[in-house]
Amino acid sequence: MAPGLFPPPPAALCAGLDALPAALETVLPLKAKHRDALPAGIRTLSGYLTVDREQLPRDYMSRAPLLAAYLHYFLPWNLYRQGRLLAGLGLDVRPGSRIVDLGAGPLTFGLALGLARPELRTRELEYLAIDRSETALRHGRSLFAALAPDAAWTVQTERKAAGSGRTPRADLLVAANLLNELDWQEPRRGRTADPEAETPHDRLVGRWDDQVAEAGAVLVIEPGTRSAARNLVRLREAALARGWRIAAPCPHAGECPMPGQRNRSWCHFNFAPDGAPGWLVDLGNRVRLPKDRASLAFLLLVRGDDPPVRVAGADGGPDRVRVMSEPFDLPSWRRGRYGCAERGLVLLEDDRGGRGPAPGSLLTVTWPDRPRRDPKSGALVVPRSR
């Protein structure tokens, strides 16, 4: 079993990130005036992706200043985040599988998978990237050829909006940083509306039923925000109702104890950006967007008896706990970490001097004979020695 969902970045991922600036110089050379405008473009796009989300242009990947900002700053951070997750998940993608990447942009997920898991580059996989920006797809193909020239994959791109028209059936369907750009508002219902009527999340999972092979998988990766996590919880419920199984991160199929409703915590992971390339850290400091934490939320669903995508250490059970948080101080010189289990929210106690498990670790615990509850969160307390 992998030590956790977010191990240190593998050497191949670090090498790919170090080579990215030179590849960008070839794929998208910037004139002096455009390079001078890059910091302002990065800050503008950062605002669109966070506080000014409603103002984000639908075609931002086709606008030269915003595309340049994405490729030089947001793409490498997404490669870093997704790459660390993909290294920890240990996805075993069977040769001959078809990966369909919805809202692929400049092939971000394909690049992350190829860089973080170089052993998969030797397998004959079909990778189809779909996005409404032809420019982003074209640059992505060039970057993939530059950074993974040894890949045995068949790489194809298709310009269209995610979810429109028909696509080939996927063995692995990917939606990375896509769902947060969709409109999840439900139409207002009258008093006589059917409470059992389908929600947008039900309809999306219904489309997955048609888009994914009978023995297939769906991987959704989102920013680690409360709103994104709430959407993933609802998608999780809809998928379970339709017979899908959860491969990660949940160690159980029960009610989510971290749904992000009201003042409750939400399912996401934070981790220190150890091993991030120095040029990217320097760029973040120059544009006044330094990062001391990387964050994401995700959901991996599978169905069928023999899906072509498997994940290392995905076995759940009543004694399994997924560590969800970084450590925080508790009274009496103790430290705590929140976890998710079949029994609900868990508070793992540890000595302050101990290193303890990292976020994303999957533990086997022995439950106390007389469990107590944390008065603040209501979590079931488990001493780390158990």
Confidence of residue 16 (pLDDT cuts 50, 70, 90): very high
Mean pLDDT of the chain: 89
Closest by CA to 302, choosing from 230, 253, 266, 231, is 253
Phi-psi region of 65 (alpha: psi -120 to 50; beta: other; left: phi over 0): alpha
Beta bridge partners of 346: 339, 380
Write down the pLDDT at residue 155.
97
pLDDT-based confidence at residue 263 (cuts at 50, 70, 90): confident
> Which positions ≥6 away from 89 have C-beta within 8 Å?
2, 5, 248, 300, 311, 312
How crowded is the C-beta side of 46, counted as CA atoms within 13 Å? Answer: 16
Strand (E) positions, 132-256?
154-159, 170-176, 212-222, 245-248
d(CA 13, CA 276): 10
Residue 197, pLDDT score: 65
The string of pLDDT tens digits covering residues 288-337 is 999 999 999 999 999 998 888 887 666 667 889 999 998 888 887 788 99
Mean pLDDT confidence for 121-135: 96
The predicted model gives 251-271 an average pLDDT of: 90
Q: Which residue has the higher pLDDT, 34 or 348?
A: 348
Q: Would you say residue 204 has pLDDT above 50?
A: yes
Give the lowest-confidence range in 122-126, 195-199, 247-251, 284-288. Answer: 195-199
Q: d(Cα 162, Cα 231) in Å, to the nearest integer?
A: 17
Q: Which two tokens stand for residue 181?
A: 């750009």
Q: How far apart are CA 319 and CA 105, in angstroms?
A: 40
SS3 label, residue 330 = strand
pLDDT band at 189 (very low <50, low <70, confident <90, very high): low
| 32-83 pLDDT, tens digit each | 888 888 999 999 999 988 888 778 888 888 888 899 999 999 999 999 999 9
| Res. 115 pLDDT band, cuts 50 70 90 | very high
Whether 265 contacts 225, CB under 8 Å? no
Assign 184 a pLDDT band (cuts: 50, 70, 90).
low
Which of 3-12, 119-128, 281-290, 314-323 bottoms out in mean pLDDT, i.e. has the lowest? 314-323
